[in-house]
């Protein structure tokens, strides 16, 4: 068998950036493979743009190495890095036509005129806007402008495409459309891409791997599946999607039998072992996602014979959201969110109903600390 190892296009080794005494990017290590789309995901101020700006050459790291296509890039000016970039604001030149905007990078490279004509035409077809070539940016819609910005970034056939929240100025529907388009383009061209976003759904949709950042630190690097199902920390679990939190204590924990817990409300629960070890008596945060909880006809008595978790509660309110409905169920004083398909079977429930909630031990996430908050 021949093992084909993929080329590494971008590598960050122990990269750090400070502003004054404020460390905004700390010991950042990452390898991006050729053709991969990697997202930097995290809340505002976590260091996503600062890291992207170091890769782009707008900022210099204080420590660490930055390697693009096998060449060390520390100190190399941005225009020598063969990058395509798209930002949140369209940043098209207002006094130039679409053609002139897209052709700009090629002109700077002194590309022959006929080649410019051909390449601009080709890239405008790629973003499905061949007919707007003679218009000015102000004559385009927001979505069209951002497509042109993408075309302008791609026309020079960059070795690396850097995107900083390119969809965040668009309305929800357009955003989804352009997200599909971006994914198609990225896969069609196979350009290695780094994408900055604070939108977890966008990151999951577009990327092969996600780097989750918090306060300048890498919390986890993994595929969308891994990030969702095997979160490395409480921060990652709660940042990606919605989750119910219960505070409690570990009763017993072992790799073979899983973790038995008692919530502060006195409910006994079971969680399957996910690689993290706990001590009896340890205070913990316990999470279960709304879509993993079902309404059942059981007795709501805690641990069930078949190992499921059950609890009895009362429906506070139900909100209909199209493909699913979300209920707030009161478990004593704790509100539990339950998401269920909005099919006819679920139409029987109304506010005030007493229901039994059921969820599997494998869907329970346990993290250390905070149990007594």
Question: In this chain, which of 13, 135, 183, 198 binds ligand ATP, going by CB under 6 A?
Answer: 198
- Tokens 């003679």 correspond to what residue? 134
332 torsion bin: left (phi>0), alpha (psi -120 to 50), beta (else): left
CB of 310 to ligand ATP, least distance (A): 41
CB closer to ligand ATP out of 25 and 106: 25
With contacts defined by CB under 6 A, how many residues of the chain interact with ligand ATP? 11
Find the part of the chain contacting ligand ATP (CB under 6 A) among 6-14, 38-46, 91-99, 263-271: 38-46
Q: Which residue has the tokens 């109903």?
A: 353
Helix (H) and strand (E) counts in the chain:
8, 21
Burial (CB count <10 Å: 0-12, 13-18, 19+), residue 134: exposed
45 binds ligand ATP (CB under 6 A): yes
Exactly one of 15, 41, 46, 170 binds ligand ATP (CB under 6 A); that residue is: 46
DSSP string for 217-281: EEEEEE-HHHHHHS-SSHHHHHHSS--EEEEEEEEEEETTTEEEEEETTS-EEEE---S----TT
Residue 31 or 88: which CB sits closer to ligand ATP?
A: 88
Main-chain phi, psi angles of 159, to 5 degrees: -80, -15
DSSP 356: E
Distance in angstroms (rounded) separating the CA atoms of residues 268 and 270: 7
Among 21, 44, 279, 323, indicate the residue that binds ligand ATP (CB under 6 A). 44
Beta strands 309-320 and 301-303: pairing type?
A: antiparallel
Q: How far is the CB of 91 from ligand ATP (least distance, A)?
A: 16
Query: Which residues 8-37 are close enough to bind ligand ATP by CB under 6 A?
Result: 19, 24
Residue 48 engages ligand ATP in binding (rule: CB under 6 A): yes
Residue 151-190 contact track with ligand ATP, rule CB under 6 A, x = bound: ----------------------------------------
Residue 215 CB, nearest distance to ligand ATP (Å)?
9
Contacts to ligand ATP from residues 260-289, by CB under 6 A: none
Distance CA 365, CA 57 (A): 40
Instruction: Name the segment binding ligand ATP (CB under 6 A); options: 5-13, 47-55, 218-226, 316-324.
Output: 47-55
Binding site for ligand ATP (CB under 6 A): 19, 24, 42, 44-50, 198
């Amino acid at each position: 068998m021949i093992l084909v190892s993929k080329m590494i296009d971008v590598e960050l080794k122990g990269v750090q950036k400070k502003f004054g005494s404020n460390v905004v990017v700390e010991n950042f290590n990452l390898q991006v493979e050729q053709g991969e789309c990697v997202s930097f995901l995290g809340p505002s101020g976590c260091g996503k743009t600062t890291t992207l700006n170091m890769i782009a050459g707008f900022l210099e790291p204080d420590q660490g190495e930055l390697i693009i296509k096998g060449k060390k890039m520390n100190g190399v000016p941005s225009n020598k890095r063969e990058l395509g970039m798209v930002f949140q604001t369209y940043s098209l030149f207002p006094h130039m036509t679409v053609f002139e905007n897209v052709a700009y990078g090629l002109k700077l490279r002194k590309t022959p005129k006929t080649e410019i004509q051909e390449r601009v035409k080709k890239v405008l077809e790629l973003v499905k806007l061949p007919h707007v070539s003679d218009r000015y940016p102000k004559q385009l819609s927001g979505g069209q402008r951002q497509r042109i910005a993408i075309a302008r970034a791609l026309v020079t056939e960059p070795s690396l495409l850097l995107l900083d929240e390119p969809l965040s100025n668009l309305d929800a529907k357009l955003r989804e459309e352009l997200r599909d388009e971006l994914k198609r383009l990225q896969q069609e061209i196979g350009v290695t891409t780094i994408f900055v976003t604070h939108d977890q759904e966008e990151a999951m949709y577009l990327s092969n791997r996600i780097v989750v950042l918090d306060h300048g630190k890498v919390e986890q690097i993994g595929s969308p599946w891994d990030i969702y199902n095997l979160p490395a920390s409480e921060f990652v679990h709660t940042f990606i999607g919605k989750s119910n939190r219960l505070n409690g204590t570990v009763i017993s924990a072992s790799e073979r039998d899983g973790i038995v817990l008692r919530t502060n409300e006195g409910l006994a629960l079971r969680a399957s072992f996910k690689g993290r070890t706990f001590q009896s008596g340890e205070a913990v945060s316990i999470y279960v996602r709304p879509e993993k909880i079902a309404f059942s006809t059981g007795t709501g008595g805690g641990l069930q014979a078949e190992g499921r978790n059950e609890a009895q509660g009362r429906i506070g309110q139900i909100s209909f959201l199209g493909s699913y409905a979300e209920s707030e169920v009161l478990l004593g004083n704790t509100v539990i969110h339950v998401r269920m398909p909005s099919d006819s079977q679920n139409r029987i429930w109304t506010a005030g109903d007493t229901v039994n909630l059921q969820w599997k031990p494998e869907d329970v996430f346990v993290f250390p600390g905070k149990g007594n908050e």
